[in-house]
Amino acid sequence: MIPPTQGLWAIVLLVLTLGAAAVFGYRVLGLYRLLRLGRDEARIDHPWRRLRDELVVYLGQRKLIKRPYYIRGVGHALIFWGFLVITYGSADLFLRGIVGWQMPLTETVAYAWILDVFAVAVLAAVVIAWMRRAFVRPPRMHIVTEGYVILTLIGFLMLTLLTFEAAWFASAERDSLLNLGGDLFRTKTPAEMLASLVPPGAERTLFVGAWWAHVGTILAFAVYLPRTKHLHIVTTLFNVGFRKQTPRGALDLIDDIENKETFGAANIRDFSWKQLLDGYTCTECGRCSDNCPALATGKTLDPQKIVLDIRDQLLREGPKLLGDAKAETTAPAHWVETKPDELWACTTCAACVEACPVTIEHIDKIVDMRRSLTLMEGAAPPEAQRAMTNIERAGNPWGEPRETRGDWAQGLEIPTFAEKPDAEYLYFVGCAASYDRRNQRVARALAAILKSAGVSFAILGAAETCNGDPARRMGNEYLFQLQAQQNIETLNAAAVKKVITSCPHCFNTIANEYPQLGGNYEVVHALPLVKKLLDEKKITMTDGAAAEIVAYHDPCYLGRHNGIYDAPRDVLDAVPGVTRAEIAPHNRERGFCCGAGGGRMWMEEKMGQRVNHRRVDQLLATKSGATKVASGCPYCLIMLEEGVGAKGVQESIKPVDVLELVAARLETN
């Protein structure tokens, strides 16, 4: 396919290309300089995992093709993969048009086939996407003119491509193409089929016109791109490559906190370059908002808005900062966009992070802004302050006496580490199971299971203190570090190697966050441990209780934050007489938060519907006939108890912990 750029025309194309490249480069450089306003952050650990993510998440479109977005996801993947194939062809057009170099294999029937098929697929996907925006507005997706312009440009690119291909097929012999792939591509390509529509005599004019229109559109696209959300086709490559490779549940450490002067994100410079890159990458698809429990229940928080607010503030105030590093920027108390109410509504459930196709990390931004409010301004909500003061003074957010922490174990012959220093496991009980009467029953259930299985374990008793999770998620990094250091000292002094928790928050913090402060232990949540003990036949349960249907509620800090979806289900399935029900579609990675994470347990919830009430609504809506709803988290248990009470269904559906179901059927010898 000889390009229509003989003689002077090659120079015209060269000049146009250089011009477009210069504008593109200038705009991208501008964005890059704004990005560098952010603080430094190293994101080069685990290179192989990063490479894997590029292959699976970027090239493989893994995070797009997910429940409940399968069809839309495939549509996007088609456009994306089509783009890759067509970009290869575009490179060929420009190289050949300017210097006459040919990209390998472009002069083959196979390539013509693949190119044409993708061109048709992209065209179809573009039409569907266009119609979807115009006629079936997806909830919460930002519909902006920009979206239509880009879709139209892409559509026009495909039309011009198919036109000049058809015109070429009308005037040339397919035999001039290398017949790579043999008979596989014997039938006519889509463009070849259209060739008969080309009016005789007009082949050359049509070819040249469509060719230049196509090439011109590509250049226009390049110039327009950096100004739009469609920059994500470039930034996603980097955003995926630089995504967090530490556990999702681990928040970043503020290192050397005693000697720092500012904490958290008080202005745009306090976000890291990666957090700012998240803003450039956001496609405004709204999937995060779709899945946010706070937004779903009428709070002002909207995770997409948080990301876009940061981007908008960067674009608005960044240029001023580039000129004068000390220029005044909007302080949090006067934030134009993000208001503290929005930040405090977050349960850190990670539904947004899970849903985002381009690996944006919402929670870290929200917590960074909370850090500024709490640590710099002392401006946490009063109930949150009370919880923090309680942790400081009593070692638990409820303000229960420090000395009575181990009282739940009285009379159960559970040794403390001081009494049994050679115990294999430490059972880190956590505040909820230590003090909350309902959850004390879960602690006793776990103790009974461990004893029955012959597991060697001990507790810390009054020497245990809050792991710091609520403080950290309320933005009080300082208090978190004090709590963590205290526990690490206690654990190290007792030479603890292995830790069991019955609370996913304790689990997440000790397993994923304590290593930041030098606390390295083998941590296991009770449910995977019980699963293991069942597999090893160390636990036997009696069959005798009446059959019952039990719905499983996924705790966010087991599921989305730590990927533990199956072990609790396996344990539930192993309980004699229990038939498991799912709270579909809000189960597994789409599980809906109970409303208590992120320190929300201790904050009032005045806006909209309570998150736990919505969860109970979802549970009832499944009409599964479940008489119990089982979870593996003390917060979930408290919230579900409150929820079924408020809905007046406490007689027909009882919240329990999976451990209680096992303990009730233990074979007593």
Partner 1 sequence: MAASDVKFLVCLKQVPDSTVRVKVAADGKSIATDGITWSISPYDEYAIELALEHKDGDPSTTVSVVTVGPARSRDALRQALAMGCDDATLVIADDKAGGLDVAKAIAAIVKEAKPDLVLCGKQASDDDQGLVGPALAEALGWPHVGMLTKIAAAGDGVELWREIEGGHEVWSSTLAVVGLVHKSAKEPRYPSLPGIMKAKKKEIPEKDLAALGVTPGAPRAEVIAMEPPPQRGGGKILKADGDVKALAVELARLLHEEAKVL
- Residues near partner 1 (CB under 8 A): 257-258, 261, 263, 374-378, 380, 382, 385-386, 388-390, 393-394, 399-404, 478
Which helix (H) or strand (E) covers residue 39, if one does?
none
Which helix (H) or strand (E) covers residue 171, if one does?
helix 145-171
Least spacing, CB of residue 393 vs partner 1, in Å:
5
Partners of residue 363 on adjacent β-strands: none
Query: Per-residue b/e over 12-23, b at no fewer than 16 CB within 10 Å?
Result: ebeebbeebeee
Q: CA–CA separation, 661 vs 650, rounded Å? A: 17
| Contact between 482 and 470 (Cβ < 8 Å) | no
Least spacing, CB of residue 399 vs partner 1, in Å:
5
Q: For residue 501, what are the contacts with CB-CB under 8 A and spacing of at least 6?
A: 427, 428, 430, 507, 510, 523, 524, 525, 526
Q: Which is nearer to partner 1, 167 or 460 (CB)?
A: 460
How many residues does the structure list for the chain? 669
Least spacing, CB of residue 263 vs partner 1, in Å:
6
Q: CA–CA separation, 118 vs 110, rounded Å? A: 12
Least spacing, CB of residue 328 vs partner 1, in Å:
19
Q: Which is nearer to partner 1, 36 or 393 (CB)?
A: 393
Least spacing, CB of residue 394 vs partner 1, in Å:
4
Amino acid 518 reads G
Tokens found for residue 521: 């232990």
Q: Which is nearer to partner 1, 402 or 451 (CB)?
A: 402
Least spacing, CB of residue 361 vs partner 1, in Å:
24
Q: Which is nearer to partner 1, 400 or 573 (CB)?
A: 400
Least spacing, CB of residue 635 vs partner 1, in Å:
21
Tokens found for residue 243: 């995504």
Q: Which is nearer to partner 1, 394 or 432 (CB)?
A: 394
Amino acid 23 reads V
Q: CA–CA separation, 318 vs 54, rounded Å? A: 29
Q: CA–CA separation, 511 vs 525, rounded Å? A: 10
Strands (E), 156-254: none
Q: Which is nearer to partner 1, 337 or 383 (CB)?
A: 383
Q: Which is nearer to partner 1, 258 or 324 (CB)?
A: 258
| β-bridge pairing 457-458 and 498-501 | unpaired
Q: Which is nearer to partner 1, 130 or 398 (CB)?
A: 398
Place of tokens 């720092």: 260
What DSSP designation does 7 have? Answer: T
Tokens found for residue 80: 């994306």
Whole-number Cα distances in Å, 120 to 172, 288, 567 = 21, 30, 45
Least spacing, CB of residue 382 vs partner 1, in Å:
4
Least spacing, CB of residue 261 vs partner 1, in Å:
7
Least spacing, CB of residue 41 vs partner 1, in Å:
21
Place of tokens 């925006």: 133
| Contact between 513 and 472 (Cβ < 8 Å) | yes
Q: Which is nearer to partner 1, 191 or 388 (CB)?
A: 388
Least spacing, CB of residue 260 vs partner 1, in Å:
8
Least spacing, CB of residue 104 vs partner 1, in Å:
60
Q: CA–CA separation, 491 vs 505, rounded Å? A: 18
Q: Which is nearer to partner 1, 475 or 568 (CB)?
A: 475
Q: Which is nearer to partner 1, 12 or 257 (CB)?
A: 257
Q: Which is nearer to partner 1, 182 or 378 (CB)?
A: 378
| Backbone φ, ψ for residue 524 (5° rounding) | -135, 135
| Contact between 359 and 394 (Cβ < 8 Å) | no
Q: Which is nearer to partner 1, 404 or 609 (CB)?
A: 404
Q: CA–CA separation, 427 vs 443, rounded Å? A: 9
- Taking the alpha carbons at both ends of the chain, their separation in whole angstroms is 84
Least spacing, CB of residue 471 vs partner 1, in Å:
11
Of the candidates 301, 376, 367, 299, the one whose C-alpha atom is nearest the C-alpha of residue 333 is: 376
Whole-number Cα distances in Å, 519 to 361, 466, 485, 500 = 25, 15, 8, 15
Least spacing, CB of residue 299 vs partner 1, in Å:
23
Of the candidates 454, 380, 466, the one whose C-alpha atom is nearest the C-alpha of residue 423 is: 454
Q: Which is nearer to partner 1, 290 or 477 (CB)?
A: 477
Q: Give the 3-state secondary structure of residue 525.
A: strand
